[in-house]
Amino acid sequence: MAAGLWHIREVSVLNIRIKFQKYGVMKFIGHLDMMRYFQKAIRRAGIDIAYSGGYSPHQIMSFAAPLGVGITSDGEYFDIAVNSTKSSRESIEALNCAMAEGVSILEYKKLPDTAKTSMSLVAAADYLIYVKPEYAPSFLPQEELQGKIQEFYKGQPEILITKQTKKSQVEMDLKQFIYQMKAGDTPEHASGTLFLRVCTGSSNNIKPELVLETFCQFCGLTYQPAMFQIQRLEVYAKSDEIPVKGEKEQKAYRDYMAQLKASYEKQGKHVPEFLPLGALGEDIP
Amino acid sequence: MRTLALSDEILLNIDKPARYIGNEINMVKKDPSTVDIRFAMCFPDVYEIGMSHLGIQILYSMFNQREDVYCERAYSPWGDLHKIMKERKIPLFTLETQSPVKDMDFLGITIQYEMCYTNILQILDLSQIPLLSSQRGEECPIVIGGGPCTYNPEPLADFFDMFYIGEGETRYGELFELYKSIRGQGGTRQEFLRAACKIPGIYVPSLYEITYQEDGTIASFQPKYEDVPAAVEKEVEMDVSHAPYPVKPLVPYIKITQDRVVLEIQRGCIRGCRFCQAGMVYRPTRERDVAVLKQYAQEMLKNTGHEEISLSSLSSSDYSQLPELVNFLVESKEQGVNISLPSLRIDAFSLEAMEKVQDIRKSSLTFAPEAGSQRLRDVINKGLTEETILHGAGMAFEGGWQKVKLYFMLGLPTENEDDMREIPRLADKIARRYYEIPKDRRNGKCQITISTSFFVPKPFTPFQWASMCPKEGYLARAKVVNEEMKAQLNRKSLKYNWHEADVTVLEGVFARGDRRVGQVLLKAYEKGCMFDAWTECFDNQKWMEAFQETGVSIDFYNLRQRELDEILPWDFIRCGVTKEFLTREWERAQKGQLTLNCKEACNGCGAMAYQGGVCLEHQN
């Protein structure tokens, strides 16, 4: 996002959005434990995080979209509030010194004061799914996979599945929540890889495993969860949702979108429907 | 990237995979090919318990400071993984490099409580190391045990190659050098063990011969060879302020029992409670320098990012620099850091300190009178009087507290029915003290929780000769307490907790057992006993079968009052406190005579021989 979009106001805290990568053995650390991990890591890194009031103050921190155990990610986000901050570069460096192997900080960006939380903005996520080396090549080869995806995703008017809820079974159309599905082009993996963009967030959260399982059934394959490595690539907000609450900031965002739209149209393209959560913040010099 | 010993398929199908992957903050990484000695340090219980233990962290950091040693960790795999590892013959592995434990030079196991003994067998079994020391070949690691239960290592003697008796800071360097030199020259396990037994503190059980009398008691306990020491002296770190300390402790991902910075402020206890093993075997009491502790506190909070810091000692109120340390922690407290102050005597200072660091409405006061009547408190040499308890509780109630926890033991030597009934009566008196506060100044009802445990006599205490009760005897005692509680005026403000006595009976056998009870452990493990300290895993039926099938008598170990001249299985260990002192204390106990604490007067227990700590304070 263009520098200088959000003007700095005199406020008690600054909102920061942090993007990180999670890989290797860290994929076995669950969501709640990752939150605890970051609480300690932030203290080790000396980030001047703000605390809530009350008798047992806690760090002001909120995560965008929980990641299932076993899934790796290149695009995890959480927001914190800080009392003061160093530059993005210095903060990323300090945080990375406090990380365990398998977590890397990628971005540390300032958000406007009235920014909505990343959690409330999450609308979609991208996933790459591939067969783990020890199981390869036991999935469909790339070309066959392409054909099957065509039949499954493009070929079917709807993809009906039954979802087990606490009380009953509900039939739902999965297709409306799959925004993209294609065979990926990743030569480093022996079998075919699958790229997915699915609806994510509090209202309709689609787990990539669900799509994968349904797809395997469609192909007549037994779904073996441990065979696949799912990697989250990015988490998005909808570009037409205004990510700030303050009037001034809303206007700034609309102006920015108008500029963005113009620049896309110049190239004969449309403004993307989704923007990465990190695109809503800007680097601190 | 490290590769794991367990496949994704396994890790994604068991509870808490984070227990098995290592990679914690401050985990030591080394290239194993560059060290001479690989050491697997094991706490034989589940990760969350084992990771909470300070002793392991001390040794882990101390060993890893040596360039020639790589110390890694292992914990007991929980039942779900245990089953998979057995079925698929996956050997137990270390967390750091995920290498098989059987490939290490040493397997060190800390032995903290009797009810983890079957877990030790599980560790050996899963490691694919023969359970019996006598069956281990040259390729097996040296299995070494340490920790408080090694003050009577005999029930475990057949399963360990050696024990380290006492505090770990002092002799491991020597042991490692010896190992390098003997193994370097192509020496055998036997040669190493034979040489190691001459290092002070090291006990090699296979080098001793035990004979028994017809009545089952020990007739003789002798070294098999002339060059093997007849007695083993415990090791003590006399310079605790400069001893190694883990200023970069491991920080786990999952929530563990002790998820905080732990500051060990002193070792030992001056009090001399007659039931307490720690109070005897960790003598003399040695304080850590307060300046050192302040520095550790700051470094450790910074190195871990923990939100809580806790003081650790047997009796924190006896630490002479306590006010200075607590004030420092409170004043330098950063936002979001909590201070927890366990094992404090309730007095004006501690109440004021607690008020500063915790939420009074939520926190409760803890008293451990251990016995209900003054008579019995005198027998056990617990200096606490009813007046002190009521005064402390009164002060706390006036200050806004309303929850009190009381800890007692049932089955103490000389206990009579009146002693039992005094337990709820004391609780009631505390409640009455609460209701003396005018209604408008108090905050509803008070909550007094009584918890009783059953007393288990421990080696190297004045009660080491005492007899125990049969299981039914313990339950009957709890019933008396419960009955009496219901007769109290403030019964609605009182709550009583007690538990089953099955475990107490087993603890009794293994606390004071000899080598012959090892076969019961083996049998019980074969039957599937594991995680016996966990109520949901404990199976008394299997244990009783194990006793029956091995012909080992519980009564022989528990119900017999030992004679003063009997050779006790642990008599070969010298722990500073002499048998003369223990005998004297046992006799004084029966007369209900109190013995002054180490700061008031030296009672000549024997620990003066170490020439340090509280023992030298009297010389000024």
In a domain, B248, yes or no: no
Say how many C-beta atoms besides its own lie within 10 A of residue B239's C-beta: 12
Per-residue CA distances from A260 to A252, A264, A269, A272, B333 (Å) = 12, 6, 11, 10, 48
Which of B3, B7, B9 to mutate: most A Cβ within 10 Å?
B9
Distance from CA of B334 to the nearest CA of A (A): 10
B255 chain-A contacts, CB cut-off 8 A:
33, 36
Which of A34, A36, A228 to mutate: most B Cβ within 10 Å?
A36
A52 chain-B contacts, CB cut-off 8 A:
none
Per-residue CA distances from A37 to A18, A34, A98, B4, B572 (Å) = 14, 5, 10, 21, 48
Which of B3, B6, B12 to mutate: most A Cβ within 10 Å?
B12
Angle at B25 between CA B22 and CA B30, to 5 degrees: 65
Beta bridge partners of A194: A129, A183
**pLDDT for residue A9 is more than 50:** no
Say how many C-beta atoms besides its own lie within 10 A of residue B561's C-beta: 10
pLDDT at position B619? 55
Whether chain B has a CB inside 8 Å of the CB on A89: the answer is: no
Give the whole-angstrom CA distance, residue A250 versus residue A244: 6
pLDDT at position A10? 45
Give the whole-angstrom CA distance, residue B438 versus residue B450: 25
Per-residue CA distances from B48 to A180, B81, B337, B517, B536 (Å) = 42, 15, 22, 29, 16
Say how many C-beta atoms besides its own lie within 10 A of residue B555's C-beta: 12
Give the whole-angstrom CA distance, residue B506 versus residue B554: 8
Backbone angles phi, psi at B69, to 5 degrees: -125, 140
A226 chain-B contacts, CB cut-off 8 A:
7-9, 12-13
Per-residue CA distances from B222 to A47, A91, A181, B226 (Å) = 62, 65, 77, 10
CB–CB contact B23 A26 (8 Å): yes
In a domain, B593, yes or no: yes
- Does the CA dihedral A183-A188-A189-A195 come out positive or negative? negative
Whether chain A has a CB inside 8 Å of the CB on B395: the answer is: no
B17 chain-A contacts, CB cut-off 8 A:
28, 69
Whether chain A has a CB inside 8 Å of the CB on B359: the answer is: yes
Checking phi first, is residue A177 left (phi over 0); if not, alpha (psi -120 to 50) or beta?
alpha
Query: What residues contact residue A172 under an 8 Å CB cut-off, 6+ apart?
Result: A160, A161, A162, A163
**Which chain A residue is nearest to residue B98, measuring alpha carbons?**
A25
Name which of B4, B12, B305 is nearest A226 (Cβ-Cβ): B12
Give buried/exposed letters for B383-393 (b at 16+ CB in 10 A, else e): bbebeebeebb
Q: What would the 3-class secondary structure string for B18-56 be?
A: HHHCCCCECCCCCCHHHCCEEEEEEECCCHHHHCCCHHH
Give buried/exposed letters for B248-279 (b at 16+ CB in 10 A, else e): bbbbbbbebeebbbbbbbbbbbbbbbbbbbbb
B24 chain-A contacts, CB cut-off 8 A:
100
Strand stretches in B518-599, DSSP E: 573-574
Nearest to A237 by CA among A79, A116, A111: A116
Whether chain A has a CB inside 8 Å of the CB on B440: the answer is: no
Whether chain B has a CB inside 8 Å of the CB on A56: the answer is: yes
pLDDT at position A6? 52
Per-residue CA distances from B297 to B285, B325, B380, B428, B510 (Å) = 21, 10, 35, 40, 38
Q: What is the mean pLDDT of chain A?
A: 90
Say how many C-beta atoms besides its own lie within 10 A of residue A112's C-beta: 25
Whether chain B has a CB inside 8 Å of the CB on A35: the answer is: no
Question: Cis (ω within 30 of 0) for the bond into B100?
Answer: no
Name which of B9, B25, B301 is nearest A226 (Cβ-Cβ): B9
Q: Report the relative pairing of strands B447-454 and B208-212 from DSSP bridges.
A: unpaired
- Here the tokens at position B489 are 């005026």
Q: Report the relative pairing of strands A122-131 and A193-199 from DSSP bridges.
A: antiparallel
A69 chain-B contacts, CB cut-off 8 A:
12, 17
pTM, two decimals, is 0.95
CB–CB contact A25 B22 (8 Å): yes
**Which chain A residue is nearest to residue B14, measuring alpha carbons?**
A28
Query: What residues contact residue A178 under an 8 Å CB cut-off, 6+ apart?
Result: A153, A159, A196, A197, A198, A199, A206, A211
- Here the tokens at position B512 are 């004071």
**H helix or E strand, kind and range, residue B555:** helix B554-558
Beta bridge partners of B108: B41, B144
A59 chain-B contacts, CB cut-off 8 A:
336
Asked if residues A50 and B336 have their Cβ atoms less than 8 Å apart, the reply is no
CB–CB contact A43 B21 (8 Å): no
Longest dimension (CA), chain A: 61
pLDDT at position B378? 97
CB–CB contact B25 A40 (8 Å): yes
CB–CB contact B336 A36 (8 Å): no
pLDDT at position A24? 96
CATH of domain A122-235: 3.30.70
Distance from CA of A133 to the nearest CA of B (A): 12
In a domain, B598, yes or no: yes
Asked if residues B272 and B279 have their Cβ atoms less than 8 Å apart, the reply is yes
Question: Cis (ω within 30 of 0) for the bond into B284?
Answer: yes
Which of A38, A40, A130, A135 to mutate: most B Cβ within 10 Å?
A40
DSSP code at position A272: P
Nearest to B164 by CA among B262, B249, B59, B35: B59
pLDDT at position A113? 86
Beta bridge partners of A199: A124
Give the whole-angstrom CA distance, residue B439 versus residue B441: 5
Q: In what order do the strands lie in the sheet with B261-264?
A: B261-264, B308-312, B338-340
pLDDT at position B42? 98
CB–CB contact B255 A36 (8 Å): yes
In a domain, B488, yes or no: no
* Count of positions (residues) in chain B: 620
Interface size A-B, in CB pairs within 8 Å, comes to 79
A30 chain-B contacts, CB cut-off 8 A:
18
Number of domains in chain B: 1
Interval A130-145: pLDDT, tens: 999 888 777 888 888 8
pLDDT at position B196? 98
pLDDT at position A3? 44
CB–CB contact B2 A40 (8 Å): no
| Domain around B603 | 581-617
Nearest to B279 by CA among B581, B611, B616: B581
Asked if residues A47 and A82 have their Cβ atoms less than 8 Å apart, the reply is yes
Distance from CA of B359 to the nearest CA of A (A): 7
pLDDT at position A5? 52
pLDDT at position A1? 43
As a 3-state breakdown, chain A gives helix, strand, coil percent values, each rounded to 5, of 30, 30, 40
- Which segments in chain B show pLDDT lower than 50? 620
Whether chain B has a CB inside 8 Å of the CB on A102: the answer is: yes
Beta bridge partners of A128: A195, A231
* Helices B417-435 and B386-398, axial angle in degrees (round to 10): 30
Residue ranges of domains in chain A: 122-235
Name which of B2, B12, B338 is nearest A225 (Cβ-Cβ): B12
DSSP code at position B579: H
| Pure H helices in A83-152 | 88-97, 118-121, 142-149
B9 chain-A contacts, CB cut-off 8 A:
226
Distance from CA of B34 to the nearest CA of A (A): 22
Distance from CA of B620 to the nearest CA of A (A): 45
Name which of A51, A132, A134 is nearest B335 (Cβ-Cβ): A51
- Here the tokens at position B189 are 């396990």
Whether chain A has a CB inside 8 Å of the CB on B324: the answer is: no
